[in-house]
C-alpha cells in the first residue's frame, strides 16, 4: 500500500473515532441534561400535588374524622382535571395499597409503590407502549389516613430528541468523513509529493542517469531530505567522475607504459639480432652493444620508478623531525660541477617533519629534471626557506620551461614536455609522478611557476606539523 493511502486511511480512522466518541458524548450529554430537568419538574409537580391534596383534605367538613374514599376520588379527579394541559396522570392508593383512584391512561405497575416508605420521594423512568414516562410516588398524610400518590409525566419527546440527535449526527459524521476523505486525499498527495519525486530520482539514478536531481517542493523535513539527497547525488556523481577519470588515466598509463616498453625493446631485440646473425666490424659492434646497454639501463630505471610509485601509493610515511641542513649536505655531496651544470645551494636553518629519504628522492628528481630541461653549463639553483607555516624547498632552472596549459599534466606518469629531449637524456616521464605521490603522503604538493624558454621554479612546502594539506 502506498504511503499516501496509509496516511489517508489512518487519518480517516482517527477522524471517525474522534467524531463518533464526541458525537455520542454530546448527544448523550444533552439527553441526560434534558431528562434530569424533566425528573426535577416531575418531582416538583408531585410535591405540589401532595400539598394541594393535603390542603383540600383539610377543607373537608369536620363531621368526618377520617377522609372518606369518595372524597379522595373527588380531590384526585379535580387535581387531574387541573393538569390536563401537562398530560398529568394520577393514581392514588389507600393504606392497604388498593387503588382508590386512577387516570384512564395510567398503566404503570405497582413496583415503585412497593419501594416507597416513610417520607421519601421515589421515581423511575418507564417504557409503556413505546412511550416513556417519569413515574413518581409520594406519601399523603391526611386526616389520620396514609395514602400514596403516584404521577406519570410523559417524556417521550426527550427520548425522541436523543434518537433524532444520533441520527442527525450520523448523517453529519458521514458527510464530514466524505468531505474529509477528499480533502485528506489532496493533502496526502501534496505531502507525499517530495517522496514521489525522490523515488523518481532514485529510479533515474539507478538507471544510470547520475545527472538527474530531485525537485525541491517544500521547506520542511522532506525538503531537507531532498536537499541532502541531491547533495549525496552530487557527491556520487563526482566520485563516479573521479573513478572514470582514474580509469581513463589508468588506461592512458598502460598505453604509455606499453609504448615506453615497446620502443626500446624493439631496438634492443633488433640490435641483439644483428649482433647474433651478422659479423660486424668493431665500431658497429660497439655501437650496437652501447645502444643495448643504454636502453637496458633506461628500462631498468623506469621499472624501478614504477615500483617506487606503486609502493608509495600503498604505504604511510613515518614522519620524523629532521634538520634541513642534513638534506642540503646530502645534495651538495651528490651533485658537483662535473655533471656539466652549475649547482648553487642556498638554504636557511630549520627543522622539517618528513620521511627524509623520500624527500631526498623528490629533490633528486626535481634536480635531474632541471638538468634535462637545461643546456649544458646552465645554472640550477636549489633553495631552502624557513617560513612561518613550514619549510619551503625550490629547484630553479633556466631551461625550456613548461607551457601554462600543460603544467597540470606533468605529474602524470609518462608525460614529458619535450619527449625527444627527455628520451635523449634517458627520461621516462615518471619522476614528477613519483614526486607528487611522495608529497601527497607528506600533506604537500608541487608548486609550479614556469614560462616557456625562460625556465621553471618547482617547489613544495613541508608543514611544521602533521596537518591535512588544504
Which of the pair, 139 or 143, is modelled with greater confidence?
Answer: 139
Confidence band, pLDDT 50/70/90 cuts, at residue 310: low
Q: For residue 65, what is its C-alpha cell?
A: 374524622
Above 80 in pLDDT, residue 324? yes
**Per residue in 435-466, pLDDT tens?**
887 788 788 888 888 888 888 899 999 998 65
Domain 316-463 in this protein, CATH class: alpha beta
Alpha carbon of residue 241 to chain centroid = 26
Query: Beta-carbon neighbour count of residue 125 at 10 Å?
Result: 16
Specify the CATH superfamily of domain 3-166: PAS domain (3.30.450.20)
Mean of pLDDT over the chain: 79
pLDDT value of position 158: 92
Summarize pLDDT for 342-389 with one digit per residue, the tens: 899 999 999 998 888 778 878 888 888 888 888 888 889 999 999 988
Say yes or no to pLDDT of 424 above 50. no
**For position 2, what pLDDT does the model report?**
72
For residues 424 and 43, which has the higher predicted lDDT (pLDDT)? 43
Mean pLDDT of 81-98: 77
Q: Is 470 exposed, middle or buried (0-12, 13-18, 19+ CB in 10 A)?
A: exposed
What does the pLDDT read at residue 32?
Answer: 92
What pLDDT does residue 308 have?
60
pLDDT at 242: 82
For 29, residues 6+ apart whose C-beta sits below 8 A from its C-beta are none
- Tell me which range, 2-6, 135-139, 184-188, 232-236, is most confidently predicted by mean pLDDT: 135-139
Instruction: Identify the top-confidence range among 49-58, 337-346, 400-409.
Output: 49-58
Bridge-based pairing of strands 320-323 and 342-347 is: unpaired
pLDDT over 80 (residue 106): yes
What per-residue confidence (pLDDT) applies to 383?
Answer: 94
- 179-202 mean pLDDT: 82
- Where along the chain do its domains lie? 3-166, 208-304, 316-463
Looking up cell 383534605, which residue turns up?
57
Counting every residue written for the chain, the total comes to: 470
Cite the DSSP H helix spans in 192-220.
Answer: 193-206
Q: What percent of the chain has pLDDT over 90?
A: 13
Q: Return the top range by mean pLDDT from 47-51, 183-187, 263-267.
A: 47-51
Fold of 208-304: Helix Hairpins (1.10.287)
Amino acid at each position: 500500500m502506498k504511503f499516501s493511502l496509509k496516511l489517508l486511511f489512518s487519518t480517516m480512522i482517527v477522524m471517525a473515532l474522534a467524531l463518533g466518541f464526541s458525537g455520542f458524548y454530546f448527544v448523550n450529554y444533552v439527553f441526560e441534561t434534558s431528562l434530569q430537568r424533566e425528573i426535577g419538574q416531575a418531582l416538583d409537580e408531585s410535591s405540589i400535588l401532595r400539598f394541594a391534596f393535603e390542603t383540600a383534605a383539610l377543607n373537608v367538613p369536620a363531621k368526618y374524622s377520617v377522609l372518606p374514599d369518595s372524597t379522595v376520588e373527588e380531590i384526585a379527579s379535580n387535581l387531574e382535571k387541573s393538569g390536563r394541559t401537562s398530560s398529568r396522570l394520577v393514581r392514588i392508593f389507600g393504606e392497604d395499597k388498593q387503588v382508590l383512584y386512577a387516570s384512564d391512561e395510567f398503566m404503570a405497575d405497582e413496583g415503585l409503590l412497593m419501594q416507597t416508605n416513610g417520607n421519601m420521594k421515589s421515581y423511575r423512568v418507564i417504557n409503556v407502549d413505546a412511550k416513556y414516562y417519569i413515574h413518581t410516588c409520594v406519601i399523603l398524610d391526611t386526616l389520620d389516613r396514609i395514602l400514596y400518590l403516584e404521577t406519570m409525566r410523559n417524556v417521550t419527546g426527550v427520548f425522541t430528541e436523543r434518537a433524532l440527535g444520533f441520527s442527525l449526527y450520523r448523517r453529519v459524521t458521514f458527510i464530514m468523513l466524505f468531505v474529509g476523505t477528499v480533502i485528506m486525499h489532496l493533502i496526502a498527495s501534496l505531502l507525499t509529493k517530495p517522496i514521489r519525486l525522490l523515488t523518481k530520482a532514485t529510479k533515474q539514478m539507478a538507471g544510470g542517469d547520475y545527472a538527474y536531481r530531485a525537485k525541491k517542493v517544500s521547506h520542511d523535513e522532506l525538503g531537507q531530505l531532498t536537499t541532502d539527497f541531491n547533495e549525496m547525488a552530487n557527491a556520487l556523481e563526482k566520485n563516479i567522475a573521479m573513478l572514470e577519470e582514474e580509469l581513463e588515466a589508468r588506461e592512458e598509463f598502460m598505453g604509455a607504459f606499453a609504448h615506453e616498453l615497446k620502443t626500446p625493446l624493439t631496438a634492443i631485440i633488433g640490435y641483439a639480432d644483428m649482433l647474433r646473425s651478422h659479423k660486424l666490424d668493431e665500431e658497429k659492434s660497439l655501437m650496437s652493444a652501447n645502444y643495448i646497454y643504454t636502453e637496458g639501463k633506461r628500462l631498468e630505471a623506469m621499472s624501478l620508478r614504477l615500483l617506487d610509485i606503486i609502493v608509495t601509493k600503498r604505504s604511510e610515511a613515518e614522519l620524523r623531525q629532521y634538520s634541513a641542513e642534513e638534506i642540503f649536505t646530502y645534495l651538495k655531496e651528490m651533485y658537483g660541477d662535473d655533471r656539466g651544470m652549475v649547482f648553487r645551494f642556498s638554504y636557511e636553518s630549520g627543522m622539517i617533519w618528513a620521511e627524509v629519504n623520500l624527500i631526498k628522492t623528490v629533490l633528486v628528481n626535481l634536480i635531474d629534471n632541471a638538468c634535462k630541461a637545461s643546456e649544458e653549463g646552465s645554472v640550477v639553483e636549489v633553495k631552502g626557506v624557513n617560513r612561518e607555516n613550514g619549510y619551503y624547498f625550490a629547484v630553479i632552472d633556466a631551461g625550456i620551461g613548461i607551457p601554462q596549459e600543460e603544467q597540470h599534466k606533468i605529474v602524470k606518469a609518462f608525460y614529458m614536455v619535450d619527449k625527444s629531449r627527455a628520451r635523449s637524456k634517458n627520461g621516462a616521464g615518471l619522476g614528477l609522478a613519483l614526486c607528487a605521490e611522495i608529497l601527497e603522503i607528506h600533506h604537500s604538493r608541487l608548486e609550479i611557476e614556469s614560462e616557456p624558454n625562460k625556465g621553471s621554479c618547482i617547489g613544495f612546502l613541508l608543514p611544521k606539523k602533521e596537518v591535512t594539506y588544504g
